[in-house]
Structure 1
Amino acid sequence: MDTILNPLYYAVSWIIVQFHSFFSLIFNKDSGAAWGLSIVSLVVLIRICLIPLFVKQIKATRNMQALQPKMKAIQERYKSDKQRQSEEMMKLYKESGTNPLSSCLPILAQSPFFISLYQVLNKIAGGHEVGFLDQELVDSARKAHIFGAPIASKFMDSAAKVESLGATLTDVRVVTVIMIILMSLSQFYTQRQLMTKNVDLTVKTPFMQQQKMLMYVFPIMFAVFGINFPVGVLVYWLTTNVWTLGQQMFVIRRNPTPGSLAFQQRQERLKARGKLKEDPADVEARKAVEAARAARQQPKRQTKSKRQVTGTTQPTAGSDKKTTLEKGQSGQAGDETPQQGGGSSRSAKSGQRKGGPQRPKHPSKK
């Protein structure tokens, strides 16, 4: 392993030496500030070099988003056959040239640098030269403390080893625990922000399940393995997590995934500022609706007296039919209903009391 990564040892150590030479002009060359800032600067430099990979990650996420309708169709079609569903998903990825693991590219790309820094700090803790760090620089780095903890010390180190580095075991463990917690929380929040704000939750895909799993797995991994990381490595990983968090917040705010919560929030912000450009099809549809409303003739409002006059003088065909029907029904009803034109209802009732014959309402048919 050392033979394979030996070129990276030289690269990492050379970068640290150059940054240390610069910060030694501002701080004491043996101070934790000079060495700690050198490690932080190493992270910033690596992350700047990884920006093209980050852009590729964003494009891969967009491609995954474009495949969401097809993924949903596959899920509905093979709802009861999970194996066939997975096969069809893999086939879709292959045909579209999309790799769901592209989101892990930045992490995979910095893994060799992470391993190299880990080994360089281990060499420093043992007092051995490594790469461009000669014995004088190694001794200087061993004296550097960050918040009271040597940059080459670990949580699991013995009290004797920590004392040989000029610190106490309590200081080392307190600093490492705090940094491990911050490192795990920053990783969890980064993944949670991605899942809750920048993913279309209407479609469940294996990609989403993978991201959800990483949201819980990575923080646990950092917490478990962090106790074996030197303080300098914890500084490295905490810095890269904070960089990732800030970079992701910037991208989600400026260029969110269509259909996500962040996209809706961005649309609302642009609409409030008057900068939202509407879809031409939506504009034409809205104009057509407004024209139809304007062309529609609204009925004129009439007074009660006018409505009564209109209803009396100009009966409709429907009302004539209704009157004829009512008259026919009244004729069949016989003497249960009083005749409209043959006398008042009072005289009809009086005739019934006297027992006299009743006048028929309609002439009988011969």
Structure 2
Amino acid sequence: MDTIANFFSFITTPVSWVIVQFHKLYGAIFGPDTGWAWGLSIVSLVVLIRICLIPLFVKQIKSTRNMQALQPKMKAIQERYKSDKQRQSEEMMKLYKETGTNPLSSCLPILAQSPFFFALYSVLSHIAEGKTIGVINQSLLDSARQAHIFGAPLAAKFTDSAEKVEALGASITDVRIVTAVMIVLMSASQFFTQRQLMMKNVDLSVKTPYMQQQKMLMYIFPVIFAVMGINFPVGVLVYWLTTNVWTMGQQMYVINQNPTPGSKAQDAYLQRLLKSVSHHGEVRGRRRKNIVKAIVAKGSDRNDNERRFFAGLAKAGFAAQVDGTVLKSDTAVAEAEGGAATRRQQPKRQTKAQRQSGGGHQPQAKDADAADEPQDAAPGDTTPSLEKKPQSPAKGTKAGSADDQATGDKPARPSRANSGGSRQGQGKSGQRKGQQRPKHPSSKK
């Protein structure tokens, strides 16, 4: 650790200067030799560094999401060029270039913090050894050695011996209790941050090895911090705990306000947005309008969360526009409420056997057949007659046609049984279905 800190010694002077400037401010309030003055100076250093790293954090979010979306394509390239590693690397680089994705972007905030972290470690190590460093002169060195945070000296470590801790004016019990609590909090905040990312801000519809890697890191990182934490001075633990808490809060804000598409966080966000639109009758805020605009532009590529959001808008009587606004729409309500009902009223599809046997006739067909039957029964008689009625002469014969002309009567309609058979026969021969007009007596067969 000391070797790595010496590698970043070029930045120890700027870091020590920033700490001294904050110490002057807090020393005027809490006293120059108090742990509050030196502890808050370190916390302020963290806040200043993290504010400067916000643009890198935004790039990290975009890169992480792009990597999640590219995992299926990357896996396909690996399977396709399994035996050709060089071609596999070329195709990967081509994919990154086409999509504008940088795999190292997800590590930028950590890499950018590393020089400041090791510079602070070097400053606190020199304070523990009683050596001046950067702009910290002897008077500031003596003040820092007297500063205690909850009874633990700023430069004390969990692994320090009792003699070294007593030289700093503290007991080994106080140091180990304070450092142990800070290590647990540091590891717990790291675990919660990673778990929050995996459980809420990941597209669950895409199952890739990247998700498994992130899940493994969720358990590995806290263990790494716990092992490394016993070798950190109290001041460095304050620095790392503060940056973990900052990361957790920053990520929580991003998840709530700009979640990953397809994640549980996006579903919760769109439901909140739907309630806001239903209550106010409009999309409030430029950022929300941009989100609605982006969803509208996706068209048929919307995920399940976005489809539910649009269905909720339609049910509430709103239609999303291409500019991210919403308009009142009665048509949307009718489609949302009547679409499902229309689908439910559709008749059940019949099989071919049911259609040929006539057992699956529609109610309209039954009524038509009933209307074609001769009304011979008495008005009050509901009992069906089993007696066979005489058949009229067949249509199309000369005798039948002559009799019809002589008497002036129309030809009798066929019985229901015969009509069904004749219709089937006509359907097979390609003739027009239904009852045929009688032929003229002079016409030939």
The percent of aligned pairs where both chains have the same amino acid is 61
Is residue 187 of structure 1 aligned with residue 190 of structure 2? yes
Residue of structure 2 equivalent to 1:313: 371
**Superimposed CA distance per residue, residues 7-55 of structure 1 (whole angstroms, 9 cap, x where no aligned partner):** 3110110000000000011101100000000000000000011111111
Q: Tell me, yes or no, if structure 1 residue 171 matches structure 2 residue 174.
A: yes
Listed as ranges, the matches of 1:11-50 within 5 Å are 11-50=14-53
* Partner residue in 1 for 2:160: 157
Q: In structure 1, what is the equivalent of residue 245 of structure 2? A: 242
Q: What is aligned with 1:258?
A: 261
**Cα contact 1:100–1:207 (8 A) shared by 2:** no
Matched, 1:200 2:203: yes
User: Partner of 1:101 in structure 2?
Assistant: 104
Structure 1 letter corresponding to 2:370: T
Amino acid at match of 1:210: Q
* Aligned match for 1:228, one of 227, 231, 253: 231
C-alpha distance after superposition, 1:84-110 (max 9, x if no partner): 897565653344331233222111110
Q: CA deviation at 1:213?
A: 2.9
Match of 1:63? 66
Corresponding position of 2:391: none
- The separation in 2 between residues aligned to 1:105 and 1:237, in whole angstroms, is 17
Q: Deviations over 1:317-345 (max 9, x none)?
A: 9x94676559xxxxxxxxxxxxxxxxxxx
Work out the CA distance in 1 between the residues paired with 2:11 and 2:243. Answer: 18
Q: Which amino acid aligns with 1:230?
A: P
Rounded to whole Å, the distance in 2 between the matches of 1:57 and 1:257 is 13
Residue 79 of structure 2: aligned partner: 78
Give SS of 1:67's match: helix
State the one-letter code of the partner of 1:221. Answer: I
Distance 2:6 2:134 in 1: 12
Q: Shift of residue 69 of structure 1?
A: 5.9
1:133 aligned onto 2:136: yes
- Verify the 8 A CA contact 1:93 1:99 in the aligned structure 2: yes
The runs of at least 4 aligned residues of structure 1 exceeding 2 Å deviation read 1-7, 61-72, 77-97, 204-214, 275-296, 306-315, 319-326
Residue 312 of structure 1 deviates from its aligned partner by 3.0
What is the one-letter code of the residue matched to 2:67?
Answer: M
Distance change (3 Å), C-alpha of 1:109 and 1:322: farther
TM-score by length of 1: 0.75
**Residues 83 and 273 of structure 1: CA distance in aligned 2, closer, same or farther (over 3 Å):** farther
Equivalent position SS for 2:223: helix
Amino acid at match of 1:103: S
- 2:187–2:226 CA contact under 8 A, matched in 1: yes
Compute the displacement of 1:308 (Å).
9.3
2:36, 2:149 within 8 Å by CA — same for their partners in 1? yes
The answer to whether the 8 A contact 1:71-1:205 is kept is no
Q: Deviations over 1:251-306 (max 9, x none)?
A: 1100011111111111111112225658486759958957997999x99xxxxxx9
2:9–2:122 Cα contact (<8 Å) kept: no
Task: Report the counterpart of residue 219 of structure 2 in structure 1.
Answer: 216
Q: CA 1:168–1:69 in structure 2 vs 1: closer, same or farther (change >3 Å)?
A: same
Q: Distance in 2 between matches of 1:219 and 1:324?
A: 82
CA distance in 2, matches of 1:221, 1:162: 25
Assess, with a 3 A threshold, how the Cα gap between structure 1 residues 81 and 287 changes in structure 2: closer, same or farther: farther
> How far does residue 203 in structure 1 lie from its aligned partner after superposition?
1.8
Q: 1:203-239: CA deviations, max 9, x gaps?
A: 2334434322321221111100100000000000000
- Aligned partners of 2:157, 2:240: CA distance in 1, in Å? 14
Q: Which piece of structure 1 moves more, 268-277 or 231-240?
A: 268-277
Q: Does 1:144 align with 2:202?
A: no
Could you tell me whether the CA contact under 8 Å between 1:122 and 1:152 is conserved in 2?
yes
* CA distance in 2 between partners of 1:15 and 1:197 (Å): 37
